Structure 1
């Protein structure tokens, strides 16, 4: 008999909670009898919930026809159809798609494509090998994109392994970045100038691309772009001939109310490349994609050269079938409208329930993609000490009996170490009653965790005072 817990988990000392035995709708059913409301869609993944029969049947049908074939030798209809759908979803603004597995993999492919573009130009620019990203970003876990990102607790153990061809500028985050008396226009000008200065510092003709999450993900907690910000940074990229790559692995594919987050009016630009994942396959299969602007595709084709990249499971037929079925469900059931309507209800509910609390600093997001940021002091925005692991305590309480709600927790939003927030990003199929339930359970988790934490701190201070 195999040893118990032979699977190596992220935490070497303990494994995750109870075994999930089944899943229906927006709920996970565990072996210890709990029914957990998944208010985070896993990690902004399971946008259709867990038992969509149409998607399940599409995967089964593909499994029975062509389960796999080598992507370098053959093509399959499911992969061709998904790529067509993705290109058409941009209304001609993107012209090709590369189908990958994970979000990390897709971001790495985007970096390689950017480098390939400059190598394949009529007058090649091989010196362009530097990438500029943003403070507090998370672009994935593989070594290439780990060098690009800035999620310190996941990056620092591997710094000695990383390439040194990336640097960072400030993120667009009005809660943490906007200065007293500064309006949005002045903030945008300052951030654009900072990016321009970084181009100059690095050497403007060494920069390959500026890479940014359209809306901040797990590390920054749904940091929202200011209107005009992306137009300003794209102008800087164009000034120096660099590319703009938008990472929508978490915020894209309908999560914020439009299929692509860059379609929102306050973004106002078409990127050179956009990376999508998570909600693309909704968890029914691992799939991600890179969408490329026609200008880049034209340079590749004119060069007569190939792309020096390939992976075994690229354009995987079952994954592509799942992704296409998911997108057809979102389209046919008008779920983008559902995201906008339920997203407004979720925003109002979270703000009414939590924003007045002295330890809730900010609630921000769009569609069904919201973050609650916690602070020790609301006026100064000083966070709780990271040693308290407040966000982890909240997640653990949510998973406990009597609460049964999965909330995505993260820390480091303040300086890479301190700062606590929760993400609330439920499946697109939630009803008004579901949203009300999510808000009520989230409020109970937050209230009870903070109450217990403050009681522990008071007892600690009291014991310290008495001993002195």
Structure 2
């Protein structure tokens, strides 16, 4: 294989070595301004992160004030800060689903590492040392660090690290309606089949060995905003309760308001998870921050045992990051942005289904609130995906960028073959006109690539 032509003018090793990334120089609202004077509507919030857009002066003020007051304290030396305490109270003061304590870290992957270790410590504190197994779902993605990747059922991201990943993890089928349901199978039968599969896996590995069941409440980068059928998470909750395993819900990408409620699980008819991870929308992209939220029973186990959290990070609960994230959460409440997420989300759903779903290479549109996935296929009737090497979602993303729209192309990991997905996740401050522009440009980009594929004889 010939070496990639790596641009020499940058000392950064970019994700694609031969690419020259778009150079962003400024922003306004939900728009990013590039060095070549091209303006882009950020309809993905980066990676579903910039939920308030890119311009919020009060967040900068809050960060500046905190950094002026005190810039850093180390939790391992027994310090806390006003900003960390405030952020935790903003999220947990009403104890949603029994969640009552938080740990703040620097990313979603760090949050998942902490959640996995916390689940293990919970069982150890209770004297249940044999619970070392985690059950996750195929085609899931929980992060890029080795522990988080170990519970991720994403073949492409696992491939070269497979021999380094934990072996105490097994995978069940995801709740992926578009490709998972059998012909003629209704939601009830599909739910029963998935629940039976989870039960069988608990029994196969030994129910008394399972530490936790891990799942994204609404899928992210691997299955592009796939939502569960009604009753799925209630069934998962019941299985976990039955066998004494913890339920870990990964809401790093789908949580903190994207689906129209602060926590995506609040729309699933369950009391809540035992442990939950959050990140992207927590700080809105202004700072790197993630969090682990835990139920009272987890706290009680630690408190009645060693009384010590066997985990920690140098930058845990960083005062500046917590101050900025607290201001993000205040703005969401102050401006009643959850209402806008619901209202504009309904419009986005309507326009995507009316305008984009009928297109020749669009197989499915799915999601909730302002969190939507568009799955591309080479044949709508058979749902046949494009070959991986064609990178159709990336081509559509590039066409959209040229037209002034940023969406998130993600080569997923479908049940039978690789799939092409575009994630559309605009900021919570998006307007009706923004939504109409986003869908209109996305339609044009998909049509552009469709013509190219047809002209090349590939479709």
Structure 2: gaps spanning 5 or more residues: 1-7
Shift of 1:180: 1.8
Shift of 1:14: 2.5
Question: Structure 2 length normalisation: TM-score?
Answer: 0.96
Between the aligned partners of 1:92 and 1:55, the Cα distance in structure 2 is 28
Shift of 1:367: 0.3
Between the aligned partners of 2:62 and 2:36, the Cα distance in structure 1 is 32
Between the aligned partners of 2:395 and 2:136, the Cα distance in structure 1 is 31
Structure 1 position 109 matched with structure 2 position 91? no
Equivalent residue of 2:208, what SS?
A: coil
Structure 1: gaps spanning 5 or more residues: 462-468
State the Cα deviation string for residues 32-84 of structure 1 (Å, max 9, x = none).
11001100001110000001111111111111111111122211000011112
1:47 to 31, 51, 68: 51
Between the aligned partners of 2:410 and 2:417, the Cα distance in structure 1 is 10
Shift of 1:293: 0.4
Distance 1:348 1:390, change over 3 A: same
Equivalent residue of 2:139, what SS?
A: coil
RMSD of aligned residue pairs (Cα, Å):
1.5
Range that drifts further, 298-307 or 127-136: 298-307
Shift of 1:416: 7.3
Give the 5 Å matches for 1:6-17: 6-17=11-22
Shift of 1:244: 0.4
Give the 5 Å matches for 1:134-153: 134-153=137-156
1:76 to 53, 76, 81: 81
State the Cα deviation string for residues 173-207 of structure 1 (Å, max 9, x = none).
11111112222111111111100100111111111
**Is the contact made by 1:152 and 1:416 (CA closer than 8 Å) also made in structure 2?**
no
Q: Residue 340 of structure 2 aligns with which residue?
A: 338
**Is the contact made by 2:356 and 2:439 (CA closer than 8 Å) also made in structure 1?**
no
Equivalent residue of 1:409, what SS?
A: strand
Distance 1:142 1:243, change over 3 A: same
Q: Residue 128 of structure 1 aligns with which residue?
A: 131
Number of corresponding residues: 452
Give the 5 Å matches for 1:84-95: 84-91=89-96, 93-95=98-100
Between the aligned partners of 2:397 and 2:112, the Cα distance in structure 1 is 28
Between the aligned partners of 1:346 and 1:24, the Cα distance in structure 2 is 22
Between the aligned partners of 2:209 and 2:120, the Cα distance in structure 1 is 11
Between the aligned partners of 1:12 and 1:161, the Cα distance in structure 2 is 24
Structure 1 position 445 matched with structure 2 position 418? no
Equivalent residue of 2:358, what SS?
A: coil
Q: Residue 220 of structure 1 aligns with which residue?
A: 223
Shift of 1:417: 5.2
State the Cα deviation string for residues 405-457 of structure 1 (Å, max 9, x = none).
11101123424752111000000001000000001110011100111112112
Shift of 1:92: 6.3
1:119 to 119, 124, 144: 124
Q: Residue 426 of structure 2 aligns with which residue?
A: 426
**Is the contact made by 1:151 and 1:416 (CA closer than 8 Å) also made in structure 2?**
no
**Is the contact made by 2:396 and 2:449 (CA closer than 8 Å) also made in structure 1?**
yes
Shift of 1:162: 1.1
Q: Residue 251 of structure 1 aligns with which residue?
A: 254
Between the aligned partners of 1:330 and 1:323, the Cα distance in structure 2 is 11
Give the 5 Å matches for 1:161-176: 161-176=164-179
Distance 1:234 1:91, change over 3 A: closer
Give the 5 Å matches for 1:381-420: 381-400=383-402, 403-415=403-415, 418-420=418-420
**Is the contact made by 2:180 and 2:415 (CA closer than 8 Å) also made in structure 1?**
no
Between the aligned partners of 1:91 and 1:412, the Cα distance in structure 2 is 32
Shift of 1:128: 0.7
Q: Residue 66 of structure 2 aligns with which residue?
A: 62
Distance 1:256 1:361, change over 3 A: same
Between the aligned partners of 2:189 and 2:241, the Cα distance in structure 1 is 21
**Is the contact made by 1:35 and 1:404 (CA closer than 8 Å) also made in structure 2?**
yes
Between the aligned partners of 1:281 and 1:342, the Cα distance in structure 2 is 21
**Is the contact made by 1:211 and 1:245 (CA closer than 8 Å) also made in structure 2?**
yes
Shift of 1:398: 1.7
1:98 to 98, 103, 128: 103
State the Cα deviation string for residues 76-106 of structure 1 (Å, max 9, x = none).
0000111122212544621110111100000
**Is the contact made by 1:212 and 1:246 (CA closer than 8 Å) also made in structure 2?**
yes
**Is the contact made by 2:104 and 2:316 (CA closer than 8 Å) also made in structure 1?**
yes
State the Cα deviation string for residues 244-291 of structure 1 (Å, max 9, x = none).
000000010001100110111x34341101111100000010111111
**Is the contact made by 1:136 and 1:416 (CA closer than 8 Å) also made in structure 2?**
no
State the Cα deviation string for residues 13-42 of structure 1 (Å, max 9, x = none).
23322x111011001111111001100001
Runs of 4+ in 1 over 3 A off after TM superposition: 89-92
Shift of 1:319: 0.5
Between the aligned partners of 1:412 and 1:304, the Cα distance in structure 2 is 42
Shift of 1:304: 3.1
Structure 1 position 24 matched with structure 2 position 48? no
Between the aligned partners of 1:167 and 1:359, the Cα distance in structure 2 is 34
**Is the contact made by 1:335 and 1:428 (CA closer than 8 Å) also made in structure 2?**
yes
Range that drifts further, 365-374 or 406-415: 406-415
Equivalent residue of 2:331, what SS?
A: helix
Give the 5 Å matches for 1:154-193: 154-193=157-196
